[in-house]
Amino acid sequence: MKPFTKILTAVDFSENSDYAFEYALTLANQFNAELTIIHVINEPVDLRGFYVPHISFEQLEKEIEESAVKMMATFCSSKLGAFTNYKTAIVTGIPCDEIIAAADKNDASLIVLGTHGRTGLDRILFGSTAERVVRSAGCPVLTVRLPTP
Ligand code: AMP
């Protein structure tokens, strides 16, 4: 078995991904692993100048990226506590593809993600990120489900 030295966790800032993140952080602490926290900005192809013609695509993209960077910073400062062995990545694309590419690039030994994410349009368009990552990842994947109330 490859030791869990590099853990990659995918966050979409949903309740389920927050919950999965707790597992990733606990495992990173226990295995003394480096933690990579990735957020993927869904490529907003359908928005290009159509719904919001007064905003250029470049401007929209810039604002989305800036907002994602802020969300990641807030996330890290509220969730990581004393843990410092981490890095963050914000990329644009299709979440499952980017998560797998980042895991390969970082030579991740484990991927941690939620079984569910934000509901709505993204899921209808792209299907289940968790399922696609489980099917295609080159390393073990831990999927974490929110406990039922
Ligand atoms: P989903 O398949 O969309 O229901 O999401 C399942 C899990 O995949 C979430 O709990 C996250 O851990 C991860 N995920 C989904 N979308 C993204 C995203 N845009 N960026 C990073 N992780 C994501």
For the chain, what are the domain ranges?
Answer: 6-34+50-144
* Superfamily per CATH, domain 6-34+50-144: HUPs (3.40.50.620)
pLDDT at 60: 79
For a substitution probing ligand 1, which of 40, 67, 69, 129 has the most ligand atoms within 8 Å of its CB?
Answer: 129
Q: Is the CB of 143 under 6 A from ligand 1?
A: no
Write down the mean pLDDT value for the chain: 88
- In this structure, what token pair is assigned to residue 89? 């990545």
Instruction: Compute the distance between CA of residue 78 and CA of residue 142 in angstroms, rounded to an integer.
Output: 23
Instruction: Compute the distance between CA of residue 73 and CA of residue 88 in angstroms, rounded to an integer.
Output: 9
Q: Is the CB of 135 under 6 A from ligand 1?
A: no
Q: Is the CB of 144 under 6 A from ligand 1?
A: no
Distance 76 CA to ligand 1 centre (A): 17
Q: Is the CB of 116 under 6 A from ligand 1?
A: yes
Q: Is the CB of 14 under 6 A from ligand 1?
A: yes
pLDDT at 122: 47
Distance 8 CA to ligand 1 centre (A): 13
pLDDT at 125: 43
pLDDT at 6: 98
* Closest C-alpha to ligand 1, atom 23: 12
Q: pLDDT by residue (tens digit) across 114-148?
A: 988 876 344 544 458 998 999 999 999 999 988 87
pLDDT at 2: 86
Q: In the predicted model, is pLDDT for residue 53 greater than 80?
A: no
Instruction: Compute the distance between CA of residue 83 and CA of residue 36 in angstroms, rounded to an integer.
Output: 12
Whole-model pTM: value is: 0.90
pLDDT at 119: 62
pLDDT at 126: 46
Residues in Cβ contact with 41 at an 8 Å cutoff, skipping those fewer than 6 apart: 64, 65, 68, 90, 91, 92, 93
- In this structure, what token pair is assigned to residue 9? 């966790």
Q: Is the CB of 37 under 6 A from ligand 1?
A: no
